[in-house]
Amino acid sequence: MKQWWRRWTYEVPLAIGDALWEVLVVQLAALLDRLTVRKVIAFIPVVILVLAYYHRIPIPPELVLIGDFLAYIDIFSVLILLGMLSRVTTILFVVKQAAARIATFVGNAAAQLRRLDIRHRRQRGAATRPHRTPDRSDDDRAPHGAWGQAAFA
């Protein structure tokens, strides 16, 4: 009987105390060491669902939708990042096309300026060279040009 009394008054409470210490202190401290913001955010929908099914407290549907959003935050963050990347890609494409068009326009404008030769324009009041007058008159020339002379020979 003494053995039984010692076991139930001394050893069992000590074993229960050691188990509670292990669960409530050691394992809880290890859990808190591994806890991250992502895990906290993932746990919020669970709390909202528990409150939603606890019928004494009315929860608005917006709060449940926020819980769903937080539950799928990984998927939403990937979609948001893909949306931002596609916008950045589109913006870069438009900037690249605009730069190519500007470069083409500048190249065409430079070619037009060279073609117009703006640097060496004549002044309107400058004297021009007189046209050459032929040495012979029209009567001295042979008829029909060079072929006419060959025809007479």
What phi and psi values does residue 55 have, to the nearest 5 degrees?
-70, -10
* Helix H or strand E segment including 65: helix 61-71
What is the rounded CA–CA span in Å between residue 55 and residue 58? 7
pTM of the model: 0.31
Q: What pLDDT sits at residue 98?
A: 94
Q: How many residues can be counted in the chain?
A: 153
**Average pLDDT in the chain:** 78
Provide the 10 A C-beta neighbour count for residue 106.
10
Token pair, residue 136, equals 């012979």
Residue written as tokens 């012979």?
Answer: 136
Tens-digit pLDDT profile for residues 114-142: 766 655 555 666 566 666 666 665 555 55
